[in-house]
Structures are given as C-alpha cells and as structure tokens.
C-alpha cells in the first residue's frame, strides 16, 4: 500500500488500563491517508499500531488484562467487566483468546499424554 498524501486527521480515544482511582484519558491524534493503489477498495485509511489496531476501542493490553484476569486470577467474566469498565462480550472474547494461548501451545494433555505407538 502506497500512501504519500494526507487526507486529514482523526482522533482516537481508546480505553487503556485503569491508573489510580480517576484513570486516564488517552487521545491519539492520527493522520488519515489517501491510498495511491488504483485497485484499493478503501481509498483512505488511518494510522495504526499493533497496540491499537484500526477501529479498536480498547488497547490490546486492556483486552489482554481482561482475558488473563478471568483465566489466571479466577475472576468471573462479569466481575472483570465491572472492574475494568468493559462489556461482558468484550471480556468473554478476551478470555477465549487468553484460553487459546494455553490450549493451543502444545502443552495440553492430548499433546503430552498421546501414545502414538512409537
């Protein structure tokens, strides 16, 4: 994707981990770019970084904390959602992602106890 011309700007306000009692408000002033690729269906796009993917309303570290809170700390989904000011579906989706990290890394019982006869 080739972009050399700025179309405008946008302000993203993704939520991040709470800090203290009052929390923080995060604002990211990012540029909107024109795409020079003739077959590009989007024609323009905004900057993004791995910690805040395009269109994300929460940072990846807040999402990871929510999932790990349920997976590792024994918190319920609804309690983690309340504590982190997130919705139940967001925390449940984050928990599924965190659970996949454990079940798909080759350390499951099927991976260590499987007898292949060899």
The string of pLDDT tens digits covering residues 4-48 is 788 899 999 999 988 877 778 889 899 998 888 888 888 888 888
What's the total number of domains in the chain?
Answer: 2
Number of alpha helices (DSSP H) and beta strands (DSSP E) in the chain: 4, 3
Q: Assess whether 3 and 33 both reside in one domain.
A: yes
Facing residues of 46 across strands? 32
pTM, two decimal places:
0.74
Domain of 4, in residue numbers: 1-49
First-to-last C-alpha distance (Å) of the chain: 49
- Average pLDDT value for residue range 103-109: 64
SS3 of residue 17 by DSSP: coil
Both 84 and 109 in one domain: the answer is yes
27 vs 107, higher pLDDT: 27
Q: What is the mean pLDDT of the chain?
A: 85
Does 41 share its domain with 81?
no
Name 102's Cβ contacts closer than 8 Å, sequence gap at least 6. Answer: 71, 108
Same domain, 89 and 118: yes
CB-count burial class (<10 Å; 0-12, 13-18, 19+) for 91: buried
Indicate if 69 and 94 belong to the same structural domain: yes
Mean pLDDT for 66-82 is: 95
């Amino acid at each position: 994707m080739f972009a050399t011309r700025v179309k405008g700007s946008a302000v993203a306000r993704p939520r991040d981990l709470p800090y203290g009692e009052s929390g923080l408000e995060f604002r990211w002033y990012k540029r909107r770019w024109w795409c020079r690729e003739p077959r590009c269906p989007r024609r323009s796009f905004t900057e993004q970084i791995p910690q805040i993917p395009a269109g994300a309303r929460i940072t990846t570290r807040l999402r990871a904390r929510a999932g790990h809170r349920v997976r590792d700390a024994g918190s319920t989904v609804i309690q983690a959602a309340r504590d982190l000011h997130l919705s139940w579906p967001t925390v449940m989706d984050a928990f599924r992602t965190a659970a996949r990290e454990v079940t798909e890394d080759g350390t499951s019982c099927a991976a260590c106890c499987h007898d292949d006869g060899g």
